[in-house]
Every structure is written in structure tokens, then in C-alpha cells.
Structure 1
Amino acid sequence: MSQINTRMLALNALEDITTNKVFSNKALNTILKKHQDLSKQDRAFLTRLVEGTLEHLIQLDYIINQFSKTKTNKMKKQILNILRISVYQLKYMDSIPDSAVCNEAVKLAKKKGFIKLSGFVNGVLRNIARSLEDIEMPNETSHPIRYLSVMYSFPEWIIQLWLEQYNYETIKTMCQESNKTPKTTIRCNKTLITPDALKEMLKDKNIIVEEGQLLDYAFNISKYNYLQDIDAFNKGYFQIQDESSMLVAEVASPKETDKILDVCAAPGGKTTHLSEITRQKALIIARDISQEKTNLIQENIKRLNLENIRVEVWDALIRDEASIEQYDVVIADLPCSGLGIISKKPDIKYNVTHDQIQSLVNIQRNILTVIQEYVKPGGTLIYSTCTINKEENDNNLYWFEDNFPYKREDITPLVSDKIKPYCQEGYLQILPQYFNTDGFFISKLRKDC
């Protein structure tokens, strides 16, 4: 397929994400599945163009606004997105000639029905191409929040929120790490294959395999085409899961005799991990709010060939009388702002609002109020999120301890020496820069006997 068509696909994906608010991973996956005839090179180009443009959206708009009399907030959305993907190519894809970027953008404008605006597109882009090296970013010393916002494309309110929780240099590094392109992290299913055997099996298929940073059964893989084309995946030899997320099961440290409940389990990464580390002997109940979500759990259970998990549709906000004090371990990996996984889902930073975060805090506390009853006296509650926002993490933990008969439990004996320095009393906050993983929060609480 020609590059012009690939650019059109990228433009369509970006329009779905920015206008229709489709999640970036879903928009991209839908297009890739629909166009499976794309070469590996075209798939890589399309993916980079969509993800890269999203990662740098605020910076791209900042650049466009310096060369266009019509500001980005006044432009037609399709013209703006044509300019965005084009400026991304000019600034971040050196292998593409400037003339090709400009010419293809003009063609896109015409194909989208904006023949009269094709000259505008051409003029703006050629001016940017000539002056790209001379563009001045906001001054870091006098305008640090504006600087971070434009340099790393984070809304200013998120920078301001983080400045209330972390120091400036930590936030700057966090922004840098969140804009890096992540590799695919996998967890070896040790009930079916050893990590070494899996590694060799993948390398035999010319897949690049790198050791994980934290766990000996975790790998980072790259240079593959479709995940579903990997034989080891179809045979259930591995599960896609970030290493930071794998630590939930490690910290829970369940026994083979335990009865375990995962209250917001989809797509099933933690549930299936718990099954594997208890050698399929623990009784595990995996719940989520809809049939669509529980179907995802069922698919992974079936593919991984696991047999000790029961899946149920259940809203975690609804009290289940039959579950009161029935579980040795309850996993509460709850809906959150997702500010720790921006490298994987860059659209999160543009779509989440502070009001939404406040609503999420209330939802998290309401769920915790309900599900804490399900833990047996002396049992374990794991509260985790994939965010780095202290309002949803530390503050919720302190609130929970103040209101319920639980005490934090030391988790340092359960993690490797590499992780121990980042453990607090009963919880762990991982930032993206620590181990090249997602940002993640994990706390362990023991219910009073």
C-alpha cells in the first residue's frame, strides 16, 4: 500500500481519537485489523504517525499557531489534523523529505474535500519547514509550567497538579518518560512453559526479546507483526501485561489454599497471574461490570488454559451479601485516571479532567467501602491503580485506614532488592522513570482479626 494511503489511515485514526473520543489503542487496532494487508513497514509508519502525533499534540499546535493567522482553535478539525500529522513528520521523522510531507498534506486536503484550503495547508507547512530550527519554546526559567506543557505536550493543569505532589525535576523526567514509545511487555505463563523456553521460541521467530527489569518471567518484545500471528501467544504461553502490574500478584502473595476475589478484573491480567502463581489450586472469582468486560477475561483464561477461575458479571459498587467475609484475598485494582500509562495511551492526558479525577476518587472510595467487607478477618486487601496521582493513591490509602479495621502491611520482603528502595510503609508508588514501566500504585492491607 502506498504511503499516501497510510497517511490517510493515520488521519482517519486521529480524527476518531480527537473528535469522536475513541480510545487511541482501539482506533489504531481497528484500522490495523481492517487493513491486514499492510506491510510491516507501513504498519510501523502508521502506528508511529498516530502515536507520535498524539504524544506531541500540544507542541504541534504551538508550532502551527506561530505560522498560521488562523489559530488552531478556529481551524476545521480535518485541516488541523492534516497539519498536525505533517508537522510531526517534519519535526520527528527526518527520513521523510520536507517536500514529500508538504505534497502529501496537500493531497490529503484535496481528498478530504478541502480543495480551496490546500494552498493554505501548503503555505503553512512550507513556512514551518523553512523555520523549524528557529522556533523558540517557552522559557523554562520564567514560565516552567508553560515550558513543560509545550515541550512534552501535557495540559498545564496536569503539570500544576503534579507540582503539588512532586518536585519539578521529577515531573520533568516523568513527562519525558511518558512520551517514550513503549515496547510490548509479556508475562510468561509458567504453567505451560519455562521463561527460557519461551524466550528461545520467540527468538526463533525473529522476534526481539529483552529481559524484564523486575521479574525473571517478564520480557519486552518487539519487531513482530500481529500479536495474533505469534504461535506462542495463541498457545497461551504468554500474556500481555506491564511489569508494574505483575507486582500486584507478587505483593498479594496468595497461598494455594486461598479463596481470592478480583473485583474489577478485566481484561484478566492480574486474575490469570494469580492463577498461575498458585499453580491453579486457589479458588479465584473474577468480576467486572459488564458482559463485554467479562468476555475479555474469559478469552484470556481460555487461551492461557487456566481452570481455577470463575467469571461473574457484577458491579463492584453493589454490595454482595453472599461475599461478606468469604475471601482470603481481595484484589481492588480500581478505575482511575490512568496517568501512569500515558506512554501506552497518550490520549488520556487530553481527555481526563480534574473534575473527573475528583469523581474517580469518590468512586474508588465507594467501591472500597463495599468490597472491604468481603475480606475475612486476618485476610488481605490489595488496593492498586495505574496512576501516579496521590489524590487517588496515598490519600485514599490514608482515608481507608482511618475508616476501616485494616492496617498496612510491609511489602519489602515480597519484592526484589531493586524495588525495595521505592517501598513505603505498606505501599509502593512506581513512577515511569524508575524501571521503564507504567506508573503504578500498590498497597497491601491486613484486616484486623
Structure 2
Amino acid sequence: MTKTDPREITLDILLEVLEEGRLGHLVLNQALLKYQYLEKQDRSFITKLTEGTLERLILLDAALDRFSKTKTEKMKPMIRTILRMSAYQILFMDRVPDAAVCNEAVKLAKKRKFQGLSGFVNGVLRTLSREKGKLEFTDPSVRFSIPGWMLSMWESDYGKEKAEQIAASFLKERPLTVRFNTSRASVEEILKSLESQGIAAEPTGFLDTVYSISGYDHLEAVEAFYEGLMTVQDPSSALAAHLAGIKAGDTVLDICSAPGGKTLHAADLLKGTGRVEARDLTEYKISLVEQNLFRCGFANVETKVWDARIFDPEMEEKADVVLADLPCSGLGIIGKKPDIKLRLKKEDLGELASLQREILSAASRYVKPGGTLLYSTCTVDRAENEENAAWILENLPFHKKDITGRLPGSLQADCRENQIQLLPGIHGCDGFFLAAFEKNRE
């Protein structure tokens, strides 16, 4: 086993995420950057095995618990992680022979100084391999690998059919979506650049600047990306700056801006005029925004480290548009960050809704009379979305702004009370909530 064995790299990633509580997408991205010299096939294997194990963890544990006298929660963390990632390969990666999975798992256990448990690892996995055709789980929470409280909440809010569509969507592969910076180049020019590198681009059906792309290796090697002609952004997220109605000369404040997708979109819509100020809580988050700004070359953007809960008197009634895409439970992006469903607790939702209202109270004071507050989240939780929108109307000097006409035709029917809840698996995008408010002039 070499030092850069993909399974061993994956093991270390999963240990950091599942046993140390680190964020999955960050740990995976750091590992892929560290081992970028590996063949594309190996990097793809690491990505699929990491994300797949996190996505299917509840089902994997249920399967392992069927064939092990020691339940997963009682196992040593190293052994538990080796078994989980090996079970994923046996159940969901057909190209990997089961015998090879078992052998590699045993090697990993021995290499990590668990020789005494290598026989246990081998026995559990070989039994799983032999009996996997008989595995059947009637509990939808296990089948979709979604915590029971989460699925029950969605059933209550959206009905059983939609709840299961949402849960199932998180287990499907998703194309990468990008938004073109059309102040830098036309859609046609960017498409031509992608085509010259053999990269396929398909319209998403949302905005005419948002495409899904495939057929590339490193994103950083895509000319249109490193030249700043496009930005990674989900179609739902790209709607935020669009629905805010940003116009030439506006002052835009993005209060929770990292990693910068909406900031860049606002700057692009201004086409060199006006000003965007991008804020976030930490130097690290602002550095993510600045990396994207440097790549895209927008000169009309300033950045600032600021706690959005704290009112800044220097910005009082200075902004034509405030983009308030606030910290949330992230229930709409579990497909991209599967460890969310493993970390989040039901009681967290109320705390987040309260935090959002605290931020909105400060953010509302930055909007000029007649200006726009665009509230959005990447979740499907009513307390953080519809209930907070109602709270804004009841407690802050705003009224709803009509967004229906600015939505793609396919979404207009789902717009209720000038706000829209986008659902993964149903609308072809992340779960996202958007509502625009205009500040009263008196």
C-alpha cells in the first residue's frame, strides 16, 4: 500500500469529518488540493467514496448492524470508519470487486495498528458481501439516509411525496453549475471558450447566464474560470441578485457574502458602475471572497470583516440593495454537503431563526427608503423562511416587492405572496428561499 493510496486518503478524510466534526466539503477540498498530482481516476474515487459514505451513512450503519454483534456506535472510531467506507463500496460501487474491498479493508486495519480486529473487519464485510442481495429496509429514513425527524418535518410541511422526492434528490449526482460574468464577455464568447476545451455546457432553464458544465478535469484548468469569466453558483443562488433588481449606479451591501457568488453577481450586474461592499464574520471568509474577486477582476467591490448582528451606523440608509443571504440550517444543500444531515439537530432550527432575525434587525437599517432588502436562505425550513418573511413585515418598515415577473416562467406558478420556496428534487436546483422587500418611504 503506497503512501498515496486513495482508500487511505479517504479514511483520513472521513475520520476528520465523522469523528472530529470538521466540515466535509472543506476537508475533501483540502485533500484533493494536497493530492492533486494523483491521476484523475484516483481523485474521482476519493471524491465518490467520501461523499457517498457521508450521503448513505445511516443506511450503511443499518446494514453493518445487521451483520455485526458490535453495533457501529460501539465500535472503535478507526474500525467503524473502515467498515463504513468499505460497506459503501460493496453496496454502491459495482466496479470494485467485493473481495478486493475486503482485502483492502483488512490491510488498512493492520496498517493502522488494529491487527487484532482485522479478522472482525474481514468477517463483517464478507458476510455483508454474501448477504447484500437480501438487504431490504422499509423505513424511508434508512432508505434515503435522512434523520427521521428531518423527513417527518418535510412530510408535515410538503406532504409525503414531496418529502421523499427531496430526500431522494440528495442521493443523486449533480452537475456543476456556473454563472457567466457577462460584463466581462458575452455568453457566446464564454460558450466558445468552453467548447474549445471540450467542455459541454447546458442551459439550466433559470437565468440565461447560468449553465451546467461537464467534461473537465480541474476546474482551475478551465480557461473561462481562471480568466474570471464565470463563477461557480447554483441556479437558485443566482436568482438572489437578479430578483433584487440591481441597476447601474446602485450601492449594494452583501452582509454575509462568503464565498462571494452573490457579491460577484451584483458587481457583474453593475457593469463597472456603483459599488458593492462584501462583509462576513471572519478574515477567512472574507479571504474566500477576495480570492474570487481577484480572479474575476471586479474593481467596484470592497470587503470588510464585520459581525452582521452588530449595527454599523456608518452604513445607515446608505444601500440601495442589501443582500441578506443569511446563515441557516442548510437543509436545501444536503446534496452538496451531506454531513449537514449528520450534524444538525432539530433544536438548532429555532436558534438559527432567532439569529436570522437579529441580523435582519441590523441589516434593515442599511436600506435607503425605497430601497430593497433581499432575504434568502439555502434551507427548506418554514421557521427560517416563511415565518421570518412574515416577521419582517410585522416588525420592520418594509412591504413586499413583486418578484413574480422576474422569475423564470417555469417558477412563476410556485411564487406565493411574492416569495418562493425552491425544493431540491422538484425544481432542479438547491433548496432555496427568496423574498424581496421594499423599504417604506415614510
Pairwise TM-score range, normalised by the shorter structure: over 0.9
Kindly, what percent of the aligned residue pairs are identical?
A: 42
Q: Hey, what does 1:328 align to over in structure 2?
A: 320
- For these two proteins, the number of residue pairs brought into alignment is 441
- Post-superposition Cα deviations, 1:236-275, rounded to whole Å, max 9, x if no partner, equal 1111111100000110011112221111111111011011
Q: Hey, what does 1:423 align to over in structure 2?
A: 415
Q: Hey, what does 1:296 align to over in structure 2?
A: 288
The answer on 1:341 being equivalent to 2:342 is: no
**Within 2, Cα distance between the matches of 1:19 and 1:228?**
31
Q: Hey, what does 1:442 align to over in structure 2?
A: 434
**Within 1, Cα distance between the matches of 2:162 and 2:224?**
38
**Within 2, Cα distance between the matches of 1:135 and 1:96?**
19
What is the CA-CA distance between 1:33 and the residue it aligns to?
Answer: 1.1
The answer to whether the 8 A contact 1:177-1:436 is kept is: no
After the TM superposition, which residues 258-269 of structure 1 pair with which residues of structure 2 at under 5 Å, given as runs?
Answer: 258-269=250-261
The answer on 1:40 being equivalent to 2:40 is: yes
Q: Hey, what does 1:104 align to over in structure 2?
A: 104
**Within 2, Cα distance between the matches of 1:200 and 1:379?**
38
Q: Hey, what does 1:392 align to over in structure 2?
A: 384
- Post-superposition Cα deviations, 1:267-300, rounded to whole Å, max 9, x if no partner, equal 1110110111121212211111122211221221
The answer on 1:219 being equivalent to 2:211 is: yes
- Post-superposition Cα deviations, 1:96-127, rounded to whole Å, max 9, x if no partner, equal 11111111111111111111111111111111
What is the CA-CA distance between 1:209 and the residue it aligns to?
Answer: 2.3
Match of 1:381, SS state, is strand
What is the CA-CA distance between 1:213 and the residue it aligns to?
Answer: 2.5
The answer to whether the 8 A contact 2:422-2:431 is kept is: yes
Q: Hey, what does 2:64 align to over in structure 1?
A: 64
**Within 2, Cα distance between the matches of 1:96 and 1:298?**
41
**Within 1, Cα distance between the matches of 2:124 and 2:284?**
45
Q: Hey, what does 2:263 align to over in structure 1?
A: 271
Q: Hey, what does 2:372 align to over in structure 1?
A: 380
What is the CA-CA distance between 1:388 and the residue it aligns to?
Answer: 0.7
The answer to whether the 8 A contact 2:180-2:187 is kept is: yes
- Post-superposition Cα deviations, 1:132-180, rounded to whole Å, max 9, x if no partner, equal 0101212xxxxxxxx2210011111211222331201100000011121
Q: Hey, what does 2:169 align to over in structure 1?
A: 177
Q: 2:198 aligns with which of 193, 202, 206?
A: 206
Deviates more, 1:177-186 or 1:3-12: 3-12
The answer to whether the 8 A contact 1:287-1:294 is kept is: yes
What is the CA-CA distance between 1:3 and the residue it aligns to?
Answer: 11
**One-letter code of the match for 1:103?**
N
What is the CA-CA distance between 1:52 and the residue it aligns to?
Answer: 0.6
- Stretches of structure 2 that go unaligned for 5 or more consecutive residues are none
After the TM superposition, which residues 116-127 of structure 1 pair with which residues of structure 2 at under 5 Å, given as runs?
Answer: 116-127=116-127
Q: Hey, what does 1:281 align to over in structure 2?
A: 273
What is the CA-CA distance between 1:4 and the residue it aligns to?
Answer: 8.4
- Post-superposition Cα deviations, 1:322-372, rounded to whole Å, max 9, x if no partner, equal 222121111111000000011110000011112222111111000111111
The answer on 1:188 being equivalent to 2:184 is: no
The answer to whether the 8 A contact 2:178-2:212 is kept is: yes
The answer on 1:80 being equivalent to 2:80 is: yes
**Within 2, Cα distance between the matches of 1:225 and 1:16?**
26
The answer to whether the 8 A contact 1:86-1:102 is kept is: yes
The answer on 1:357 being equivalent to 2:349 is: yes
**One-letter code of the match for 2:390?**
Y
What is the CA-CA distance between 1:182 and the residue it aligns to?
Answer: 1.9
Give me the TM-score of the superposition, normalised by structure 1. 0.95
**One-letter code of the match for 1:213?**
G
**One-letter code of the match for 1:43?**
R
**Within 2, Cα distance between the matches of 1:281 and 1:181?**
39
The answer on 1:312 being equivalent to 2:276 is: no
Match of 1:432, SS state, is coil
RMSD: 1.5
**Within 2, Cα distance between the matches of 1:439 and 1:131?**
36
**Within 2, Cα distance between the matches of 1:405 and 1:19?**
46
Q: Hey, what does 2:237 align to over in structure 1?
A: 245
What is the CA-CA distance between 1:410 and the residue it aligns to?
Answer: 1.8
